[in-house]
Amino acid sequence: VIVEVAKLAGVSPSTASRVLSNSTYRVSAETRARVLEAAKSLDFVPNALARGLHESHLPVVGVLVHDLADPYFAEIARGVEDAACASGHLVVVASSDRIIEREISYARLLRSMRAEAIVFAGSGTDDETYTHETRRHANAVEAYGGAVVHLSPHARGKADIGYDNHGPMIELVAALAGLGHRRIAYLAGPANLFVARQRLAGFQDGIAAAGLEHDERLIVEADLTAAAGADGIDRLLARDTGASAVVCVNDLAAFGALRRAAELGLRVPRDISIAGFDDISVAAQMAPSLTTIRVPLHELGARAFERVVKVLAGQRPRRVTLPTEVVLRGSTGRHRG
Amino acid sequence: VIVEVAKLAGVSPSTASRVLSNSTYRVSAETRARVLEAAKSLDFVPNALARGLHESHLPVVGVLVHDLADPYFAEIARGVEDAACASGHLVVVASSDRIIEREISYARLLRSMRAEAIVFAGSGTDDETYTHETRRHANAVEAYGGAVVHLSPHARGKADIGYDNHGPMIELVAALAGLGHRRIAYLAGPANLFVARQRLAGFQDGIAAAGLEHDERLIVEADLTAAAGADGIDRLLARDTGASAVVCVNDLAAFGALRRAAELGLRVPRDISIAGFDDISVAAQMAPSLTTIRVPLHELGARAFERVVKVLAGQRPRRVTLPTEVVLRGSTGRHRG
DNA sequence: CTGAAAGCGCTTACAG
DNA sequence: CTGAAAGCGCTTACAG
């Protein structure tokens, strides 16, 4: 209804558009003032669909995650949002639950509404259909001028904005070894996720680097949830491995491990040390507070959006690796023979 | 580029549109098949902006929250998403940090892109500008046929889909009194939030109902974060009130209280009982697990979307109040004189 | 059952 | 500095 504004201001729609959009055309100060006033009095809010149809993209960035209710992803999404809001971009969040069809369908939806960018926040998997379909939509997004950003390793390459899943794990194991632990167990994530594989490899390399004995029984398959962590502790204990420390694939699993240990009457870290990965914000609130590897999640999201801006501006930004840090807290302690 | 599809299929754009959109027009089976095949071979994905421009709304629902990184809101947003994805709706999440301007700006943005619905998930406040501007945009959304849903009490009424913030608090206090606690403290939320006020009133009514002595010193001003909860414990202890139990305005504050208590060498619940409100999913993972009031957050979100669907269908659904439940867990125990 | 035409609300070359 | 016109990609009465 910009025509109404134009009519009220006594100018043509073209002129009204020129002052109401952030075009660089020059309009006389007097005319501009009249249009602005008319717009205000009519409570005019431009139709983003009409504008988007013309420019063939909407000021929206889609963030594809595994589960928005998982703090790991919520913190990343929040980072994207904080960076995006300054330029009037909205962020749509889409949880796939790692269901391939759901993620593909979301990518398609984002493409259909010409989102300016699509950020793949969750770890990629090997699945061929997933890789192919997902890439098809991503290509289409790029074709209409949108940006595609990966925050995790995926089938077609490394993360655009990422962090090291391997190195810090070696450091963490070294720290535990330094505390006297010789039998360190690992609650692993789903083997089809690149991130889980890298973390596991980091753990194993850490064991080797620390000169500890490799023992398959110390590796327990789990998942990225608290329930899986609790269950993992049960299975580990049933194996009677003599583990004095447990490293978990992520914080959520570590929370479950912590809880289950407490339920079983094990004191942490006196009887057993437990560590996580990610440093989601509640990790520091646990009692004892969780030793973990700090990943700058909020920044990861914010940087993703910065990359989007650059890509849309025609630049070809370089890949970025954000620093991580081993944070030793109350859930790990010296091994007591 | 539906014209390309039409051309390839040898039909008019009108016909192509009729088979590609979910219109009810009848098209001969043979023609339909040819169009579908052409669409597939061209990887045709309809432009949602063009479609939306025509129908004057986009299949998007906006969820306005205080902070997406707060699990309370992340779980609600996830609920909205799960209900919305079935019908091909995308959800945009917008965190205001309770900054009025930011929330207003998000409401405007959602309006500008003709979101089908806007869900106010966070508690409303008294602020006049906030109420007025927010209502103005909400009215505009309704004017173009969109729906507006409130999940919390606000300046203009009760929640459309809500839960009781008052009654369960009385129950919780009664439960603590039943455990022998006479001196029960409360870490309160910001007084300008309706929800915080209702919870506080519930607490106070609970104290009266249990026949306990009213003592202003037992009420500590805090906020809805873990940091505020930890700080609240410090201030409570400094007052030397002899409190043996602490009820917190929400789980996050309770997490901080739990942590601070542990840091100070207080054993929970032996030395002090601590309870929260919300039952966000990590609450059950704390050690000890947190006593709290269960709010069906995911369902709250899902129901919000169901309401949206009804409103868009022209119905005038009734207000819904979801059930809550006091969940007694490990962080509260019998008072030890 | 199918097509030509108008319209959704903007923006931007193209002329003045 | 300003206006008339065309176009973005669809959908839907309106005619056949």
DSSP A138-175: HHHHHHTT-EEEESS-BTTB--SEEE-SSHHHHHHHHH
For B112, the closest of A45, A102, A110 (CB atoms) is A45
pLDDT at A188 over 80: yes
Annotate A186-245 with DSSP letters as a single string. Answer: EEE--TTBHHHHHHHHHHHHHHHHTTPPP-GGGEEE--SSHHHHHHHHHHHHHHT---SE
Task: Please state, rounded to an integer, the average pLDDT across all residues of chain A.
Answer: 95
For strand D, which nucleotides have at least one atom less than 7 Å from a protein CB? 1-5, 7-13
Checking if the pLDDT of A124 tops 90, the result is no
Task: Spell out which residues of chain B touch residue A68, defining contact as CB-CB under 8 Å.
Answer: 68, 74, 77-78, 81, 93
**B179 touches A: beta carbon within 8 Å:** no
Helices (H), chain A: 2-9, 13-20, 29-41, 48-55, 71-85, 100-112, 128-143, 167-178, 194-209, 226-239, 251-263, 297-312
Chain B residues with CB inside 8 Å of A49's CB? Answer: 49, 52-53, 58, 113-114
pLDDT, residue B14, reads 92
Range A119-125 average pLDDT = 92
Which of residues 8 to 27 on B have a Cβ less than 7 angstroms from any strand C atom? 11-15, 18, 25-27
Amino acid at B199: R
Q: Would you say how long chain B is, in residues? A: 337
Give the number of C-alpha atoms closer than 13 A to the C-alpha of residue B223, restricted to the C-beta side: 9
pLDDT at B234 over 80: yes
Report the pLDDT value the prediction gives residue B112, as an integer from 0 to 100: 96
| Crossing angle of the two packed helices B251-263 and B71-85, in degrees rounded to 10 | 140
Mean pLDDT for the stretch of residues A221-249: 97
Which pLDDT tens digit goes with each residue over B51-85?
Answer: 999 999 999 999 999 999 999 999 999 999 999 99
Of A88, A80, A76, A82, nearest in space to A45 by CA: A88
What is the distance in angstroms measured between the alpha-carbon CA of B4 and the sugar C1' of C3? Answer: 16
A46 CB neighbours in chain B (<8 A) are 112
Mean pLDDT over residues B272-292, rounded?
Answer: 96
pLDDT given at position B202: 98
Residue A221 has pLDDT above 90, yes or no: yes
Helix (H, G, I), strand (E, B) or coil at B184: strand
Q: Over the stretch A143-182, which tens digit does the pLDDT of each residue have?
A: 999 999 999 999 889 999 999 999 999 999 999 999 999 9
Considering the entire predicted model, what is its pTM?
0.96
- Tokens 């007591």: give the residue: A336
Do the chains contact at A67 and B78, CB–CB below 8 Å? yes
Using alpha carbons, select from B113, B162, B159, B156 the residue that is nearest to residue B133: B156
pLDDT band at B237 (very low <50, low <70, confident <90, very high): very high
> Chain C: nucleotides under 7 Å from a protein CB?
1-5, 7-13
How confident is the model at residue B149, as a pLDDT?
98
B111 touches chain A (CB under 8 A): yes
Using the C1' atom of nucleotide D5, identify the protein residue whose alpha carbon is closest. A14
* Overall average pLDDT of the B24-28 stretch: 80
**For residue A264, is pLDDT > 90?**
yes
- A289 and chain B: CB distance < 8 Å anywhere? yes
Is A14 (CB) below 7 Å from strand C? Answer: yes
Does the structure show a pLDDT above 80 at B116? Answer: yes
Instruction: Measure B15 CA to D5 C1' (Å).
Output: 28
Does residue A218 contact residue A184 with C-beta atoms inside 8 Å? yes
What is residue B26's predicted lDDT score, i.e. its pLDDT? Answer: 78
- Tell how many helices (H) and how many strands (E) occur in chain B: 12, 12
**Can you tell me the distance from the alpha carbon of A126 to that of A118, in angstroms, rounded to the nearest whole number?**
20
d(C-alpha A81, C-alpha A71), whole Å: 15
